[in-house]
Structure 1
């Protein structure tokens, strides 16, 4: 249920937009029947149309290549290294309870399933037993942006696996999700029409006269707690307000960002700001806000709340800035524990002041 009431809604978890379709039901039943498939090598070859859509996404080349190697069986997983009698433990790098194959590592491992479900797509990896079939359904039901998200997630999971094996770094789900966000942020941001490329500024820029710019950010920690930070400044760079807050029951780091936007909009209304521009460094949120149509997911539910708040403004826009242009909000979000839940009107905490001055000089 959203913050403005309304009835509970049912979502079809195996469709990206949450809507049930006969095609989605058919594919779900097909996946149930394929549970006993011994390995991805027994699945049908992927069609040329799949690869055309696969390579056409806006994901980074290294994300596409890693996903292609995983689908094609070219990643040096332990089960593959063990077969030619290489001295290696074939156990999964994350759970160590099964051999490390594509099907197990990317779909069946409990840690990987947690990453998929906590991602913005809220993917139920336990609905699949075959990695190739997983990709076939992803391409069939998802658009290009969703396919790019999956490619970035596969890359982030593979990168985390190598850090566990070669750097002895523990697996942290929220770190993997943050890495996915950064991979998506490296991709050129596109405007509402999806045609012209928008060059995202690398520094904070003053808004138009009469408009207040509200920068916000979120810091997610394991344990379903997100920490939010916001700073509002006018066209001269003067501070109108700053704030910090805790938000509980957050599923993932990427869902913390739209929660931060909703909180920022409500604060702006409470403070009497009527002409605002909210600015985020989360490219996935930026794209989702400008996307046509309305889906049925955790993210779309929060964005619906945000759209209901639009009536409280005379002027409202959403813009994207690189993380280097969002340093004040980022600092506030990461230091919520120091300042607790607070709102400062026309001032900032003393440690934040040098960052604010740096933005306008």
Structure 2
């Protein structure tokens, strides 16, 4: 219940399960505006540490002096830049003169007009108004403001609005360049690669129809010169998930390799989770565990160039399944 398509239960599964809980329909994580906010945030091409900072801010989890005072970590709630003001998230990110000056230098000053909203509402409203590129700059700015605040406390380093703005512009340029370089690298790497000499390559993929619990597996085998040696597609019934469809497709690919008795084989698919499970030495207790076990056994058969044939019995590795 509430697990991943692979059948495993993870931290992400628990989060989704809590999010789907309708016991408190007024909780803002269940409202559409906040769902859109988080979806847009996680899709931004910015480092995870920045996204986490925004997420923490949206929940008022940042350790401002006021929050620390509420947790009885400190008895001083004053803002470290001036001393006489109380350090709330509102003051750090919207009211501080240096922050206001920064928003103006980055042409986000119009985003400060809705000061009547609390910070969480304002944050989601701003993200909704901006395009992905503007959102990236905005989020980096929030992260930089918080970073400058921490340096003021822990390193006694005071940054001006121009210095922080300069840092944001430089940082955005650097991560944009990295994204473009990686995109070019990925574009070059994407595509079918010829196998080494004397090898054949078996590519597999699966498609899934959830309404009818049907899956289709597709297999293409090519030699070192890219010539198609074999292509095969098959419909499978009573398949419970997309993940299971990919597992069955992998199983079909390995089975073809065993049946054709090619000496050197590369088996290639696009599901990293399946590849990891097939390489793992641990026992898989998922519903598709029998397939995973059989795949492992067939791979061993390929490596040893031997076959197993039993009457009225199954291999030892499959008994528990």
TM-score after normalising by structure 2: 0.43
Q: Which structure's residues are more often helix, by fraction? A: 2
TM-score, L = length of structure 1: 0.39
**Structure possessing the higher relative contact order (Cα contacts under 8 Å, 6 or more residues apart):** 1
Work out which of the two has the higher radius of gyration on C-alpha atoms and give 1 or 2: 2
